[in-house]
A and B are shown apart, each in its own frame.
Chain A
């Protein structure tokens, strides 16, 4: 249980061979769950978007598009898998969460903290919640200074949390591990006065570092007709 936390402190005193042996033992004796904790699960339709088919702890993602439409939905959908599996999540800087949409995506409201209007203390508040929450969705209310953004990215890495930034108009000066862009958004279900909004088709472009250096494009229904997320195949374009 307390294998992970003191690792770094031990590292200063032990020689590399001993440390490697220790890591091997820890890996062998670790319960199945802990060996998976480097990754946090996502809903199956989103697995194909991510290089690890899951969210890697300690990483930062940005989700955005110029018009902003769909970005928050993507961010909420990304945390829904881990939330449903019992992870704590926080939403910082967004005063208007659509709670019904969040629940329909699979987010457990019992483990969701919302910091709706953190004001000028937004970066400090984000740093504070990164200490103890697995996933943080951040909508910066003001343009972040580069040093501030770097500090939050470092904090997420150090605390093995996942930081999902929805930059909106404020922007985000740090290159993320993964960048998701939403475009080609189209609603189905309404005509002139007929029907109701049924589902939204969107294209998500994912680019990043390492194995995700080459951008990939994915088609999603988000929300799908039942409020969840579903793959929309490659058709249409």
Chain B
């Protein structure tokens, strides 16, 4: 909306930060063993920079500009810090502008280039801010991503969402890296061996996810479902790169520990992929191959030539040996040479075929047609 993504003069708090994320040390456990291990991580990281800040249990940050210059760039610094931290406990390291983005970058092991933070944040869901009420209001307005939220004008935001919303808006647009509950001042105090009873443990962690009331309730009921169905009976979905809809989804067994927020929908999900079928994507993907027959106007089978072209214009379709249905339209072919259910890598082709009842995505493999997905 005509607003520049460059931070305004004054009033910004966006430092370039390197964040170390230790997924096994994110709790303030009773005996303090995790906190002691975390103190060792910090000591190891301090070899490269003396200004390490404990953000909360399992997360620390350091300003990256100076050390990066000294050690030959951010990439080199990240490698050194990661090796040092991993020597103590499994760690992920990332760099971005501002603490909020830097934590998300660390969870993904990314270096977000200077000035690239708004673009990095833009595709992430608004729920990642960890503010349920705000996310609910935004959803009712049809605003799903941080980028869409950031595109609202400051005046609209203050009018509709008040002061908290205004701050979240600055975070979403990369103009602030500080978000409520991001820091737990207790941690630094405890690490220094000082009493911290006066400082609360943040009870509703919001942004940190995985342990809110709703998440805990969901975790309990999903465990119960796993008791009934077996571990593989409850799965979550991750997106990855690929040309076809089957390749782009990966189903993984659900675990109580859960994955950090926001990882599912990232990782190349939106990246352009050569030969990818254009959007919109099919709602139903057939996990087991469904046989299909495709024929031309004279009833002769339509095949894919060695050059990836159709031998004739398709006219009718039969699924699993069912009745022939006339095609009201078709499009393609698109190249498909990854293996699907077959182990061998072969050259294939994809085709969109529309019948009076529905639209299918067909794939030619092993010398015949299959229904790979349905736009159900």
Q: Scoring A residues 193 to 205 as 1 if CB is less than 8 Å from chain B, else 0, what string do you get?
A: 1111111100000
Check A197–B248 contact: CB distance below 8 A: no
Check A129–B221 contact: CB distance below 8 A: yes
* A70-B376 in contact given A113-B236, A197-B331 (Cβ < 8 Å): yes
B30-38, B48-56, B67-75, B237-245: which lies at the A interface? B237-245
CA distance A194 to B333 in the complex (A): 10
Partner pick for A69 among B277, B330, B357, CB 8 A cutoff: B357
Check B144–A84 contact: CB distance below 8 A: yes
Considering only residues 94-136 of chain A, those with a C-beta below 8 Å from chain B are 94-104, 106, 108-119, 121, 124-125, 128-134
Check B283–A98 contact: CB distance below 8 A: yes
Chain A neighbourhood of B237, CB < 8 A:
97, 99, 102, 109, 112, 114
Answer yes or no: B228 CB below 8 A from chain A CBs.
Answer: yes
- Number of B interface residues, CB 8 Å? 70
Check B280–A128 contact: CB distance below 8 A: no
Chain B neighbourhood of A108, CB < 8 A:
125, 127, 264-265
Considering only residues 248-300 of chain B, those with a C-beta below 8 Å from chain A are 248-249, 251, 254, 259, 261-265, 269, 277-287
Partner pick for B259 among A1, A110, A224, CB 8 A cutoff: A110
Partner pick for B251 among A114, A129, A195, CB 8 A cutoff: A114
Give min CB distance, B228 to chain A, whole Å.
5
B19-27, B186-194, B209-217: which lies at the A interface? B209-217
Give min CB distance, A204 to chain B, whole Å.
15
Considering only residues 184-213 of chain A, those with a C-beta below 8 Å from chain B are 185, 187, 189-200
A229: nearest chain-B partner, CB-CB: B142
Check B142–A113 contact: CB distance below 8 A: no
Answer yes or no: B180 CB below 8 A from chain A CBs.
Answer: no
Check B358–A67 contact: CB distance below 8 A: yes
Check B214–A88 contact: CB distance below 8 A: yes
Check B279–A41 contact: CB distance below 8 A: no
Give min CB distance, B279 to chain A, whole Å.
5
Q: Chain A CB within 10 Å — which of B217, B218, B236, B354 has the most?
A: B218
Check A44–B141 contact: CB distance below 8 A: yes
Chain A neighbourhood of B76, CB < 8 A:
none
Answer yes or no: B313 CB below 8 A from chain A CBs.
Answer: yes
Chain A neighbourhood of B235, CB < 8 A:
113-116
Chain A contact-residue range equals: 35 or more
Check A113–B359 contact: CB distance below 8 A: no
Give min CB distance, A183 to chain B, whole Å.
12
Check A41–B214 contact: CB distance below 8 A: no
Chain B neighbourhood of A130, CB < 8 A:
221
Answer yes or no: A61 CB below 8 A from chain B CBs.
Answer: no
Partner pick for B282 among A42, A98, A185, A195, CB 8 A cutoff: A98
Check A99–B239 contact: CB distance below 8 A: yes
List the count of A-B residue pairs having beta carbons below 8 Å apart.
Answer: 243
B57-65, B81-89, B110-118, B128-136: which lies at the A interface? B128-136
Chain A neighbourhood of B263, CB < 8 A:
110
Chain A neighbourhood of B352, CB < 8 A:
190, 196-197
CA distance A68 to B281 in the complex (A): 17
Check B264–A84 contact: CB distance below 8 A: no
Partner pick for B376 among A1, A71, A227, CB 8 A cutoff: A71
Partner pick for B283 among A76, A134, A226, CB 8 A cutoff: A76
Q: Chain A CB within 10 Å — which of B132, B220, B225, B373 has the most?
A: B225
Considering only residues 158-198 of chain A, those with a C-beta below 8 Å from chain B are 185, 187, 189-198
A82: nearest chain-B partner, CB-CB: B139
B125: nearest chain-A partner, CB-CB: A108
CA distance A121 to B264 in the complex (A): 28
For the residues of B in contact with A, the DSSP-based class is mixed
Considering only residues 91-141 of chain B, those with a C-beta below 8 Å from chain A are 125-127, 132-133, 135-136, 138-141
Answer yes or no: A234 CB below 8 A from chain B CBs.
Answer: no
Partner pick for B280 among A44, A70, A104, CB 8 A cutoff: A104
Chain B neighbourhood of A115, CB < 8 A:
225, 229, 233-235
CA distance A103 to B123 in the complex (A): 11
Check B376–A103 contact: CB distance below 8 A: no
Considering only residues 281-326 of chain B, those with a C-beta below 8 Å from chain A are 281-287, 313
Chain B neighbourhood of A67, CB < 8 A:
357-358
* A187-B354 in contact given A100-B248, A128-B221, A128-B225 (Cβ < 8 Å): yes
Chain B neighbourhood of A69, CB < 8 A:
357-358, 375-376
Check A223–B357 contact: CB distance below 8 A: no
Answer yes or no: B196 CB below 8 A from chain A CBs.
Answer: no
CA distance A149 to B354 in the complex (A): 35
Answer yes or no: B44 CB below 8 A from chain A CBs.
Answer: no
Answer yes or no: B224 CB below 8 A from chain A CBs.
Answer: yes
Answer yes or no: A64 CB below 8 A from chain B CBs.
Answer: no
Check A193–B239 contact: CB distance below 8 A: no
CA distance A47 to B215 in the complex (A): 26
Q: What are 24 pairs between A and B in contact, CB < 8 Å?
A: A33-B133, A41-B139, A70-B376, A73-B375, A84-B127, A85-B135, A97-B285, A99-B248, A101-B281, A101-B283, A108-B127, A110-B264, A111-B215, A113-B234, A115-B234, A118-B228, A128-B225, A129-B225, A130-B221, A131-B217, A187-B354, A196-B277, A197-B352, A226-B279
User: Which A-B residue pairs are the 10 nearest by beta carbons?
Assistant: A132-B221, A109-B264, A223-B280, A99-B249, A100-B281, A190-B329, A33-B133, A132-B217, A85-B139, A69-B358
Which B residues fall within an 8 A CB radius of A? 125-127, 132-133, 135-136, 138-142, 144, 209, 213-215, 217-222, 224-225, 228-229, 233-239, 245, 248-249, 251, 254, 259, 261-265, 269, 277-287, 313, 329-332, 352, 354, 357-359, 373, 375-376
